[in-house]
Amino acid sequence: MTQDDIIRMAQEAGFVEYELDDGTTNAFDRRYQRFAELVAAAEREACAAICEEEEEFRDHTPFDAALRIRTRGNT
């Protein structure tokens, strides 16, 4: 995820630009970027855990794992 992706998603989520004390405008600050990085890392780990569930899903294909990952959060 790039910084531009984070800015775009922050804007889509309703974060607005604000003026800093030095007169410059910033779309978000480092706290939002760090939060986005933490959320992305947690999601990657959850997706990796799905892929590692080989005992239960040994005979499934990568497409099955992709479907399970895409439907995460729909429960």
> C-alpha angle with apex 38: 17 to 22, nearest 5 degrees?
30
* Residue 25: predicted pLDDT: 59
Instruction: Tell me, letter by letter, the H, E, C secondary structure of 27-42.
Output: CCCHHHHHHHHHHHHH
Q: Can you give the pTM of this predicted structure?
A: 0.61
* Residue 43: predicted pLDDT: 87
Summarised one tens digit per residue, pLDDT across range 19-53 is 566 666 565 667 777 888 888 898 889 888 888 87
* Residue 55: predicted pLDDT: 64
Residue 23 DSSP one-character state: S
Length of the chain counted residue by residue = 75
